[in-house]
Amino acid sequence: MPDTPRLDHARLASCARDIADAGRELGARGWTPATSSNFSMRYDSQHAVVTISGRDKGRLGVDDVMVVDLAGKPVGTASKPSAETALHVQMYRRDPQIGAVLHTHSHNQTVASRLYAQAGVVRFAGYELQKAITGYTTHESELDLPVFPNTQEMGELVDRVDAWLDAGKPLHGYLIDGHGIYTWGRTMAEAKRHLEAFEFLLACELDLRRLTA
Ligand SMILES: CSCCC(=O)C(=O)COP(=O)(O)O
Ligand SMILES: [Zn+2]
């Protein structure tokens, strides 16, 4: 039987506070409607702290998160982790530098995911705000946000993300059709900056489509 790690309660409380703060901010912007969305932070090299399934993500408290291993298995609790935990732990497994993953369901994210599902990608070019994504230093770059089909089978989404990354294509976030966005960062602050940047860029693209239709 695998050893159950003794939890560092100070570390867990610190992650819980950061996750709850992020949830309050994102919820206040209307990006987490109707208990949607989920958030996580890396706890250590083999574990993450993730939101418990079904909680109101705009009103999280310290008891609304739990520890999982990087296979998504609960550690030290009988609570049920987010239904989308597999998409969080995938990022922690793939990149040891990733420290936080955010998933939201804003109106713009959802509408854009529907409009660009067939193309399979939203390509941003010419926006100064592309520089808010780590590694982008000029508006004269192309930033791709893929759109994957929605499914209740998390393994299918995990495979699509793996395929994108295994093809060597840069990935800083992705949309799921009719669902929402995933993005991440080395820290919670970086993950929030990426989320805000994608939300802003999607809003611009949607406005341009309306204004130039
Ligand atoms: C009510 S939203 C449907 C599930 C979802 O997409 C989501 O983001 C929240 O699921 P969780 O299990 O993390 O609460
Ligand atoms: Zn979701």
ipTM: 0.99
Structure tokens at 152: 């209740």
Residue 182 pairs with which residues in a beta bridge? 103, 174
DSSP bridge partners of 49: 41, 67
| Residue 209, pLDDT score | 96
Q: Is 54 in the pocket of ligand 1 (CB under 6 A)?
A: yes
Residue located nearest, by CA, to atom 4 of ligand 1: 36
Please say if the pLDDT value at position 207 is more than 80. Answer: yes
Tell me what the pLDDT averaged over the chain comes to: 97
Nearest-atom index, ligand 1, CA of 85:
13
User: What does the alpha-carbon distance between residue 83 and residue 139 come to, in Å, rounded to a whole number?
Assistant: 36
Answer whether residue 3 shows pLDDT above 70. no
Name the CATH architecture for the domain at 9-211: 3-Layer(aba) Sandwich (3.40)
pLDDT of 52 strictly over 60: yes
> From the alpha carbon of 51, which atom of ligand 1 is closest?
13
Ligand at minimal distance from the CA of 82 is 1
* 103 annotated as a binding-site residue: yes
The pLDDT of residue 5 is 77
Asked if residue 9 belongs to a known ligand binding site, the reply is no
Asked whether residue 213 carries a pLDDT value surpassing 90, the answer given is no
Residue 1 binned pLDDT confidence (cut-offs 50, 70, 90): very low
- Residue 81 confidence (pLDDT): 98
CA distance linking residue 213 with residue 182, whole number of Å: 28
Cα of 83 vs centre of ligand 1, distance in Å, is 6
Where are the chain's structural domains? 9-211
